[in-house]
Structure 1
Amino acid sequence: MEVSVIESDFQHKIDQDLKIEPKDTMPDRYRAHLIRQISQHAHSEVIGMQPEGNWITRAPSLRAKQILLAKIQDEGGHGLYLYSAAETLGISREEMIEQLQSGKAKYSNIFNYPALTWADIGAIGWLVDGAAIVNQVALQRTSYGPYARAMFRICKEESFHQRQGYEIMANMMKGTPEQREMAQDAMNRWWWPAL
């Protein structure tokens, strides 16, 4: 099988651990894979706002509400960073949204689980955002420059989200027997989906 000049130049950059930038020539398969991966990641960030958004009016304190609002705003920003990175590959944001709405594009199914109690918000932050950090730290070294740069910023903010979830769970475990039971129930329900 003959390797094209485009693929040879591309592979040389990859082998040298150089970032591929939007104006660089790249194989069509690489571009298509990135569009699928980055758009799915962007969709997951935006859809991920919804279970927590339902708790804004029910947060147990003004401080908890402020922190939750900041987290939800961060997640929306993560989606925007990622949609912007995907747009550098030649797909429009409108097309990505249409693919999501038509079912052609996917998002992480973890966001299909209901957030039944305030403890679920803690479990989501601690477990789901913790798992996201594990997955996403490696993406800081991805070969596509715009995606890698977006991931540096996203990972910093995800650390805040994980800490917020841990704080909710720790406070509930210091609370009443009912609060401890609620926290344990949330951990039991979110443990396997987070893995």
Structure 2
Amino acid sequence: MAAQNLQSVPAELTPEEDAAGQAHFDRIIAEDSRIEPRDWMPAAYRKTLLRQISQHAHSEIIGMQPEANWITRAPSLKRKAILMAKVQDEAGHGLYLYSAAETLGQNRDKMMDDLIAGKARYSSIFNYPALSWADMGAIGWLVDGAAICNQVPLCRASYGPYGRAMVRICKEESFHQRQGFEILLE
């Protein structure tokens, strides 16, 4: 997903233009269609999207860390390769989502700076250590399984770039869940 060069703050509109934009927005939502980056949207909708998408992107990036720590300690070459693929997928998920946030005018560097400075949020599940190989299986099976339950509805998100990113992400999360389950069976 290539980020588009869009303004983060829409130009000032007349009250008539604002009302027409709101009516168009309401119609798109009522039709269960998608809002696209160049469509008018209420400021609160844009703000909520930016918060949700950036938090989700940060969670994908932070979520790589417990698994990346296990790449060198995985019990077989096959498991190392699978774990490297999963970590790479998670990085890609973060990039898809940062790109979606950029379509709303958010700067990727600012999002990363906020994450590093502790100003941004991410899923707290990743603050718990993965101390054993069984923990890696549990993360894959249970955490990714829960993520799938939460994320599948987002494939139908009203904001187009977010919904399209979620379709790609959910396909890969299913692979991650299956790999976690297989680890626990070993």
Counterparts in 2 of 1:1-195, with a 5 A limit? 4-171=19-186
SS of residue in 1 equivalent to 2:153: helix
Distance in 1 (CA, whole Å) between partners of 2:42 and 2:86 is 37
Distance in 2 (CA, whole Å) between partners of 1:11 and 1:104 is 33
Distance in 2 (CA, whole Å) between partners of 1:23 and 1:5 is 15
Name the aligned partner's letter for residue 83 of structure 2: L
Q: Number of residue pairs matched?
A: 169
Partner of 1:189: none
Partner of 1:181: none
Question: How far does residue 131 in structure 1 lie from its aligned partner after superposition?
Answer: 0.1
Percent identity of paired positions between Structure 1 and Structure 2: 69
Distance in 2 (CA, whole Å) between partners of 1:131 and 1:59 is 23
Question: How far does residue 151 in structure 1 lie from its aligned partner after superposition?
Answer: 0.4
Residue-by-residue CA offset, 1:60-94 (whole Å, 9 max, x unaligned): 00000000000000000000000000000001100
TM-score, normalization by structure 1:
0.85
Question: How far does residue 100 in structure 1 lie from its aligned partner after superposition?
Answer: 1.3
SS of residue in 2 equivalent to 1:20: coil
Bigger CA drift: 121-130 or 23-32?
23-32
SS of residue in 2 equivalent to 1:48: helix
Structure with more contact order per residue of length (Cα contacts < 8 Å, sep ≥ 6): 2
TM-score, normalization by structure 2:
0.89
Residue-by-residue CA offset, 1:91-126 (whole Å, 9 max, x unaligned): 110011112122221000000000000000000000
Give me the CA root mean square deviation: 1.0
Larger helix percent: 1
Distance in 1 (CA, whole Å) between partners of 2:19 and 2:36 is 19
Name the aligned partner's letter for residue 134 of structure 2: A
Name the aligned partner's letter for residue 69 of structure 1: M
Distance in 2 (CA, whole Å) between partners of 1:57 and 1:104 is 31
Distance in 2 (CA, whole Å) between partners of 1:95 and 1:117 is 35
